[in-house]
Structure 1
């Protein structure tokens, strides 16, 4: 009877904790100028990118609901009223913040 040969050693897997906050501030446009420019001049295109990232319908556009769903999914503090106000008074900034957050979480492997 032969002894089994071990081909690999056990490995430790480190799971990154989700950050319960936005990865960038609402007005932090210069942290990613490409997203800022796209959100300023082509907000519908950026909205469709965000919708596609979130497996949502592009025709709905970047709405308060999309921001609320995302915020709830990642445990980001806030309220529906806050989401409504941000999308009402600063829709381009809200969209850019959402896209930056998606990109950062994707880079961290938690999106």
Structure 2
């Protein structure tokens, strides 16, 4: 019989002015997922050809896809442009941009309790950099994020999703 880890709940209090309810809910989800067994990736490592546009952008200019992924994984603390520029700089100066991008794969796996595989994160990014970036991008989309619009607009959309506008005032008409 396989041993299972007990699930633990971590509850974060929301204090006025500290963070929005959406971010607190995301923090609760992350705390729970860190204690859960690993879930599968929503797409395979070599499913990058399902979206030809994303595949081409990532193959020819991986700094764009990386920047979008990094902004969401960092929860908006670094911008898409900053992450993408640093990636491009590392690529042009050293050719070791895969070391930088593999750290974001590790962060993402930790945030969403995703399994390691088919080998360690650095090996995945060293051998299959474009495929790994596409897989990470698609995982964020599957989890309800739109990497195209960045972290802050994603949070605004999530906060506004529960709000319903009241119907307009209707007058008598013929």
Give TM-score scaled by structure 2 length.
Answer: 0.46
Q: C-alpha displacement at 1:60, in angstroms?
A: 4.8
**Whole-Å separation in 2 of the counterparts to 1:49 and 1:85:** 22
Unaligned runs of 5+ in 2: 1-32, 88-99, 146-174
Unaligned runs of 5+ in 1: 1-17
**Whole-Å separation in 1 of the counterparts to 2:52 and 2:143:** 18
Residue 22, structure 1, aligned to residue 50, structure 2: no
Count of residue pairs the alignment pairs up: 89
**Whole-Å separation in 1 of the counterparts to 2:70 and 2:116:** 21
When the two chains are superposed, the root-mean-square deviation of aligned CA atoms in Å is 2.2
1:98 to 116, 123, 136: 136
8 Å CA contact 1:30, 1:36 repeated in 2: yes
**Whole-Å separation in 2 of the counterparts to 1:48 and 1:60:** 9
**Whole-Å separation in 2 of the counterparts to 1:88 and 1:48:** 18
Give TM-score scaled by structure 1 length.
Answer: 0.69
